[in-house]
Every structure is written in structure tokens, then in C-alpha cells.
Structure 1
Amino acid sequence: MLAAAQRLRRSTDFAAAVRGGRRAGRGAVVVHLTVPAADPSTPTSPEPAQDSSAEQSSAPSRAGFVVSKAVGNAVTRNRVRRRLRALVRERMTALPAGSTLVVRALPAAAQASYPRLATDLDAAIAVARSPRERRSR
């Protein structure tokens, strides 16, 4: 179970992450990741850096899950949600402080094994965290 401070609960938080975050879909999941922008006004001296680490610990990464009825019946949806929650809990420390992650399960998640969900989640988070590349036409 994720700690209360790490869970998204309000629909406005979900909407902000989905609208403002980077989206990446892999296999059975789609993730929306919002990473807070670095504050350019913060000094780079070593002493304030310690203060900023205290601020970052007060703003934990948060996660929310969307598992629609298209995934399956209530038993299936809850199983998928529990699996995703366990996978995300293991990966929360790797996310930048203050980031927001929304994981949306696709219908394929109902038949996906736990290792397959882990692989898809890792790949989607990696793509969402990578910097955007400019495409030339």
C-alpha cells in the first residue's frame, strides 16, 4: 500500500497529471508523468542545497491508478490495481521528488503476468522521463 501522502485522490490532481504530463504507452499500461520544473531562482551554493533537500522530502512523489471497466470485472480490475500499486511502490524512490505519476491500465493488463506488467511499466516510465526530442520533417 502506498502511504497516504503518496496517493492521488482528487480528480483535479489526476486531470492535471494527464493534461500536463508526458504520456508514454507500452504494452498493457499508459503512464502520465509530471515532473516539477527546476527552480532557476534557487542558489547553487552547498548550504542552500541542504535546505532544498529538506524541501524535496516534504514534497513526495505521488501516484494514482486508472483501471476502467474495459479491463474486466471487479475482481480482475482490483487484481490489476494491486499489482500496479506494488510495482509503483518499488519504483517511487527512483522518481524525482514532487513528481506525479498516473498509471492507466489497458484491457491487455487483465491477461498480463506480473513480470510483463513490470517490464511495460519500466519501459513507459523510462520513455516519459526521457527528454523530448525535436523531430525534423
Structure 2
Amino acid sequence: MLPTENRMRRPQDFATAVRRGRRAGRPLLVVHLRTPSTLETDPHAAGGGPSPARAGFVVSKAVGTAVVRNLVKRRLRHLVRERLSLLPPGSLIVVRALPEAATADHDRLARDLDAALRRLLPGDEAGGLR
């Protein structure tokens, strides 16, 4: 489960990440990452510091039944939670599962996510990825 402060909920945040962010496609998923050009502050954050990185997930009906979609979403949430510390503060990340993600195991999803993040993050920040 992602902490509340790291969950993307507003449709505007999804649109910003997808339209203005960089994209990396892999066989199982597509990752959209919007990093802030300047440190933005979240007016709701305690202390007015930089807002935390937030993640959202898109798993369409093309992936499978509701049970399969929820399984894929849970796996992706778990994988992204482990990698949130690699993202700059204020980042927005949207992970869109492709139909092949339904039959992929946890390790294949992790490899595709890591490969996408390596393409999207600068060298120093991507260093913690496998």
C-alpha cells in the first residue's frame, strides 16, 4: 500500500504527468514521469516543504478481469513504493499496465519498471535500480 501523501488522486495530476512528463515504454508497461523544474510546494504539506513524489496507476479492462486488474495494480503499487525514494520531490509518476502485464510475474514487472525508470531518471538517481 502506498502512503496517503504518495498517492495521486486528482485527474489533473494524471493529465499533467501524461501530457507534460517524459515517457518510457516497455513490453509490460508504460511509465510517464513528470519531474518539477523547480521545487514546488504543496500547500497541504506540513511545514510547507517540497511535496513528496506521488504515483498513480492505470490498468484498463484490456488487461483482464477485475480480479486480474487488481492483482496487477497491487504488484505495481508494491514495486513503485520501493522506488519512491529514487524520485525527486514533487515528481508525478503514472504507470500504465499493458495487457501482457496480466500474465507477467513479479520479477518481470520489476525489471520492466526498473528499465523504464533508468531511461527517465538522471544517472545519479537511477543508480539504485537493478
Normalising by the smaller structure, the TM-score range is 0.7 to 0.9
Identify the residue that residue 31 of structure 1 maps to in structure 2. Answer: 31
Please state whether the residue corresponding to 1:33 is helix, strand or coil. Answer: strand
Q: Structure 1 CA distance, aligned partners of 2:30 and 2:48? A: 26
Equivalent of residue 89 in structure 1, options 65, 78, 81 = 81
Identify the residue that residue 92 of structure 2 maps to in structure 1. Answer: 100
Equivalent of residue 128 in structure 1, options 100, 103, 120 = 120
Please state whether the residue corresponding to 1:98 is helix, strand or coil. Answer: coil
Percent identity, aligned pairs only? Answer: 59
Q: 1:12 deviation in Å?
A: 1.1
Identify the residue that residue 46 of structure 1 maps to in structure 2. Answer: none
Q: Structure 2 CA distance, aligned partners of 1:126 and 1:20? A: 19
Identify the residue that residue 50 of structure 1 maps to in structure 2. Answer: none
> Alpha carbons of 1:110 and 1:56: their partners in 2 closer, same or farther (altered >3 Å)?
farther
Is 1:63–1:101's contact at 8 Å kept on the other side of the alignment? yes
Q: Structure 2 CA distance, aligned partners of 1:5 and 1:71? A: 27
Q: 1:58 deviation in Å?
A: 4.0
Identify the residue that residue 3 of structure 1 maps to in structure 2. Answer: 3
Is 1:72 equivalent to 2:72 in the alignment?
no
Could you state the TM-score of these two structures normalised by the residue count of structure 1? Answer: 0.80
Q: Which 4+ runs in 1 deviate beyond 6 A?
A: none
Please state whether the residue corresponding to 1:125 is helix, strand or coil. Answer: helix
Q: Deviations over 1:13-62 (max 9, x none)?
A: 101110000000112010000011146xxxxxxxxxxxxxx989541000
Which one has more relative contact order, counting CA pairs under 8 Å at least 6 apart?
1
Instruction: State which drifts further: 82-91 or 58-67.
Output: 58-67
Is 1:57–1:97's contact at 8 Å kept on the other side of the alignment? no
Q: 1:95 deviation in Å?
A: 0.7
Unaligned runs of 5+ in 1: 40-53, 132-137
Q: What is the count of residue pairs matched by the alignment?
A: 117
Could you state the TM-score of these two structures normalised by the residue count of structure 2? Answer: 0.84
